[in-house]
């Protein structure tokens, strides 16, 4: 059900946490969405509170308050609702107590650590925008022995396979045998950005853990564990975008 008359169907689905607008459009094109009992094939449709919307045969229901969770993604899970190769996904492994949620950004299958989850697709979209300016920090284990100037090209920004990466901060924490641990900070999360950038300067990544996303920290969350962000914290960090947030049960 749409809460505002005349909203586009894809935006309504995003607001309910079904998927991002782009993924919602794909679901519509695949015939997975019906309005008033009729499958629709185009996202160019406005709906109102009176319309009955179903996704994969399930009624959309009433939109709940804005909620966000911190989740410690284990290694070996794909960050997608469905995987064409049949690999296990994050959403197959979430605690049963969570409602339907979408992820804020992605972590590749071999990466682990902090993944933000939300029931609101518009919040997802806002937090993923580079203009939000939130720093993402990672603990990264590299194979090799970095020297003093090994990461200098990354601090200036580097081009890899025709794609320009923004400057990233890299701090060498310690050398451990043939591996080195570094802390990497970036403001964008492009596809396998850190792995590709490190390979460009001569190092292979054999472990990558996201430890923070903006003000949100992984802390002591165990792999596979989720913790809801407190309402007050959510309002402090998201401002007017979290005006609908209410104390969760």
With beta carbons less than 8 A apart as the criterion, state whether 203 and 154 touch. no
Helix axis angle, 121-128 relative to 21-29, nearest 10°? 130
Residue 161: both structure tokens together = 């396979």
- Kindly name the residue from 83, 108, 110, 241 that is annotated as catalytic: 108
Q: Is 205 helix (H, G, I), strand (E, B) or coil?
A: strand
Longest alpha-carbon distance in the chain? 65
Tell me how long the chain is: 249
Active site residue 161: no
How many Å apart are CA 147 and CA 244, to the nearest integer?
50
User: Which residues touch 132 (CB under 8 Å, ≥6 apart)?
Assistant: 126, 214
How many Å apart are CA 226 and CA 131, to the nearest integer?
27
Q: What is the DSSP string of 4-31?
A: STTEEHHHHHHHTTS--HHHHHHHHHTT
For residue 68, what is the enclosing H or E element? strand 68-73
The CA radius of gyration of the chain, in Å to the nearest whole number, is 20
> Is the CA virtual torsion 189, 194, 200, 201 positive or negative?
positive
| Residues annotated as part of the active site | 108
């Amino acid at each position: 059900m749409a809460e505002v008359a005349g909203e586009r169907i894809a935006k309504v689905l995003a607001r309910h946490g079904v998927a991002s607008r782009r993924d919602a459009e794909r679901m519509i094109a695949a015939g997975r969405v019906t309005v008033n009992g009729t499958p629709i094939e185009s996202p160019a449709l406005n709906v109102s509170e009176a319309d009955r919307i179903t996704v994969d045969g399930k009624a959309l229901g009433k939109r709940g308050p804005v909620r966000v969770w911190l989740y410690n993604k284990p290694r070996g899970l794909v960050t997608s609702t469905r995987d064409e190769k049949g690999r296990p996904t994050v959403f197959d492994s979430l605690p049963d107590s969570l409602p339907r949620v979408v992820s804020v950004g992605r972590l590749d299958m071999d990466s682990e650590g902090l993944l933000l989850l939300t029931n609101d697709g518009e919040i997802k979209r806002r937090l993923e925008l580079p203009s939000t300016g939130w720093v993402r920090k990672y603990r990264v284990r590299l194979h090799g022995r970095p020297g003093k100037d090994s990461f200098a090209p990354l601090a200036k920004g580097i081009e890899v396979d025709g794609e320009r990466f923004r400057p990233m901060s890299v701090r060498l924490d310690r050398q451990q045998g043939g591996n080195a641990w570094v802390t990497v900070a970036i403001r964008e999360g492009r596809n396998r950005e850190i792995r590709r950038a490190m390979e460009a300067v001569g190092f292979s990544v054999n472990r990558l853990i996201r430890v923070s996303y903006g003000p949100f920290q992984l802390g002591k969350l165990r792999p596979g564990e989720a913790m809801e962000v407190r309402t007050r914290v959510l309002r402090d960090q998201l401002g007017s975008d979290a005006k609908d947030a209410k104390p969760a049960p």
